[in-house]
Amino acid sequence: QVTLVESGGGLVQAGGSLRLSCLVLGDIFEVNAMVWYRQPPGAHREMVASINSGGNTYYTEAVKGRFTISRDNAENTVYLQMNSLKPEDTAVYYCAAQSDSDVEWGQGTQVTVSS
């Protein structure tokens, strides 16, 4: 089992950048993939980007070319670098750790992009 601690959200103007961090505490060897989700106001949670144990990445179409997911194994941390932010990127962002039997969630961090 793992515990996830997120940080890095905030308020930024359109066109700006933010980097979200997700610190993974616990049995990291059980984690197959790390995923960033977001939940815009009044909308469902959606997957944004993922990275698996082999380093393969996936991005939803809306963020391709602007967001980059990466990980630092030595620091047990997964990052989401967000560039060229748009007002429609405003959401609570969550990281999640997927294992064979479970999904653990972080507490979420608010990202607000002003126009």
Helix (H) or strand (E) holding 66: none
What local confidence, expressed as pLDDT, does residue 30 receive?
85
Mean pLDDT of the chain: 95
pLDDT digits (tens, 9 = 90+) for 29-62: 889 999 999 999 999 999 999 999 999 999 999 9
97 contacts 2 by C-beta, under 8 angstroms: yes
- pLDDT of 109: 97
CA dist 25 and 86 (Å) reads 31
- What pLDDT shows up at residue 73? 87
